[in-house]
Chains A and B, each alone.
Chain A
């Protein structure tokens, strides 16, 4: 059986056309447009937050987050893969890709965010004794101390110099540790400590970013810039710039049920967008969708000059 030649040239009339000139003109016009938009609007570049900035501006929030990292109650501590085994992560029915692909970027929040940085502080015997006391205490006692301290932080006040003042209580060595960590953070030392790795050069910001994301500073700045999830934030960027507007459909699902309130919202939205993307690629093969353009005569508008010329002949 023979097949029609799909690459056969058009047998009708032709008009002169300069492909290379068209491309050159288009590059010129687009470059000019980009320059005009640059001159008019520039581009956003809000300075990044640092752990030092966070600990100075919001010392109570910083300390509360640090205690949660220490006792394993923070978002990162209970995240699961790819950071730890403290949760299974999200799933779609019986499919648990997050769990199956395992822990690739291990984070032990107590050691990575609190114990190890404090151990690196030289010349502070009281602090080192407090760490040892905490580490050698039974788990139940550790929880008693951190729970009580977390509760006290709810009514804490900020002292001069950015210190945190809580009501006296049975917190064990936790206040000494937290004051030590706060001082380290406010000096800028914790920013460096969280980036320390086995090699000299470092480009992986996973640990400090997750630590900051557990606290309130990033979210506070994001809310002010309309970047939260419930503010369609995934397609926005700082300022009044268009951002990633092409993510509008991805963002839309998070605003409506059942995704909005689902504990597996991210996995469900990713699955849905994966299916829709595949359908988009396969449009020529989907009955109904591929026939729609023939029945909705937008093509008459597109080729109106051609049809007009046809009617004239």
Chain B
């Protein structure tokens, strides 16, 4: 069997090479973690992810049967309840995860994008939940939509995002906003895998001190100017 040599002009080959370079398999799916990753606070990140999976799963079942199903059948109401409690768990675990990452200053070491994608996910998840509440077709939906409209209208958002229009809110809730949340979470997780879990404060200082001195090109003034050093994970 002959093997076609990769062409430099191939978009596919270049995409693959860039992807593998950014996230080699052992970084994407590691079977080892730094020993400092040993606290209950780390559970809340994966718990948030797990909650999102349960939300999407229960939401998909509700979508299969349509928006009225859960009002008229016990099975439908059961899956609606699963969906509701998964949302509550999602926000609960995400808030603790975010607080934990704040007190770890998890944006250190070039990890600002990890924080930003996580924070934006929280902000986007709020309208994702709101559109769910106003799509319920019950009294909650009536009251929440007639109250929420005033805040949105006051800054012009109501001109193109009408919380009293069930059809528009349902589209946002089952497609547009979940897609945005999932895309952000995927980006967030890939960034975590690429940069690794942020190390403890003092350890990071030791690590920087252990690195070679800055290259004297002009004036390198801080540890941040130090040359690239690649540390391989011990076997």
B137 neighbours in A (Cβ, 8 Å): 48
B49 to chain A, nearest CB (A): 7
Q: Are A283 and B102 in contact (CB under 8 A)?
A: yes
Q: A82-B159, A244-B130 are in contact. Are A284 and B140 (CB under 8 A)?
A: no
The digit string for A1-45, where 1 denotes a CB below 8 A from any CB of B, is 111111111111111111110110011011101110110011111
Q: A4-B223, A206-B164 are in contact. Are A81 and B231 (CB under 8 A)?
A: no
Whether B34 sits at the interface, judged by CB under 8 Å, is: yes
Residue among B32, B41, B160 with the highest chain A CB neighbour number at 10 A:
B32
Whether A277 sits at the interface, judged by CB under 8 Å, is: yes
Q: A38-B82, A299-B104 are in contact. Are A2 and B123 (CB under 8 A)?
A: no
Q: Are A38 and B78 in contact (CB under 8 A)?
A: yes
Q: Are B140 and A46 in contact (CB under 8 A)?
A: yes
A233 neighbours in B (Cβ, 8 Å): 143, 147
A29 neighbours in B (Cβ, 8 Å): 47, 50
Binding site for B on A (CB under 8 A): 1-20, 22-23, 26-27, 29-31, 33-35, 37-38, 41-49, 79, 81-82, 89-90, 97-98, 100-102, 104-105, 203-206, 209-210, 212-213, 218, 221-222, 227, 229, 233-234, 237-238, 241-242, 244-247, 264, 266-267, 269-271, 274, 277, 280-285, 290, 293-294, 296, 298-299, 302-307, 309-310
A5 neighbours in B (Cβ, 8 Å): 228-230
Q: Are A81 and B33 in contact (CB under 8 A)?
A: no
Option from A45, A221, A237, A284 in Cβ contact (under 8 Å) with B112: A284
Q: Are A204 and B162 in contact (CB under 8 A)?
A: yes
Q: Are A48 and B138 in contact (CB under 8 A)?
A: yes
Binding site for A on B (CB under 8 A): 27, 29-39, 41, 43, 46-47, 49-51, 53-54, 58, 70-71, 77-78, 80-82, 84-86, 88-89, 91, 95, 100, 102-105, 107, 109-112, 115-116, 119-120, 122-123, 126, 129-130, 133, 136-148, 150-156, 158-160, 162, 164-168, 170, 194-196, 199-203, 207-208, 210-211, 214-215, 217-218, 220, 223-234
A293 neighbours in B (Cβ, 8 Å): 102-105
The CA of A274 and the CA of B152, in the complex, are separated in Å by: 12
Q: Are B33 and A17 in contact (CB under 8 A)?
A: yes
Contacts A/B (CB < 8 Å), 5 sampled: A6-B111, A10-B233, A222-B143, A246-B129, A269-B151
A23 neighbours in B (Cβ, 8 Å): 46, 49-50
Q: Are B54 and A218 in contact (CB under 8 A)?
A: no
Q: Are A294 and B105 in contact (CB under 8 A)?
A: yes
A14 to chain B, nearest CB (A): 4
Task: Report the 10 A-B pairs with minimum CB-CB distance, sorted nearest first.
Answer: A6-B110, A203-B167, A97-B156, A284-B107, A266-B154, A26-B50, A101-B156, A11-B231, A101-B159, A38-B81
Q: Are B166 and A204 in contact (CB under 8 A)?
A: yes
Option from A2, A19, A27, A45 in Cβ contact (under 8 Å) with B29: A19
Q: Are A7 and B110 in contact (CB under 8 A)?
A: yes
Residue among A16, A47, A81, A244 with the highest chain B CB neighbour number at 10 A:
A244
Q: Are B228 and A4 in contact (CB under 8 A)?
A: yes
A236 to chain B, nearest CB (A): 9
A246 neighbours in B (Cβ, 8 Å): 91, 95, 126, 129
The CA of A204 and the CA of B34, in the complex, are separated in Å by: 54
A179 to chain B, nearest CB (A): 27
Q: A16-B31, A26-B49, A26-B50 are in contact. Are A302 and B39 (CB under 8 A)?
A: yes
Q: Are A19 and B30 in contact (CB under 8 A)?
A: yes
A97 neighbours in B (Cβ, 8 Å): 154-156
The CA of A302 and the CA of B199, in the complex, are separated in Å by: 11
Known contacts A26-B47, A245-B88; 5 further A-B pairs (Cβ under 8 A): A3-B225, A26-B43, A43-B77, A233-B147, A244-B129
Q: Are B51 and A30 in contact (CB under 8 A)?
A: yes
Option from A45, A81, A303 in Cβ contact (under 8 Å) with B200: A303
Residue of A nearest to B40 (CB): A302
Residue of B nearest to A280 (CB): B119
Option from B109, B140, B159, B232 in Cβ contact (under 8 Å) with A81: B159
B34 neighbours in A (Cβ, 8 Å): 10, 12-15
A135 to chain B, nearest CB (A): 28
The CA of A163 and the CA of B98, in the complex, are separated in Å by: 57
A81 neighbours in B (Cβ, 8 Å): 153, 156, 158-159
Residue of A nearest to B120 (CB): A281
Q: Are A203 and B142 in contact (CB under 8 A)?
A: no
A259 to chain B, nearest CB (A): 12
B103 neighbours in A (Cβ, 8 Å): 293, 296, 298-299, 302
Q: Are B203 and A8 in contact (CB under 8 A)?
A: no
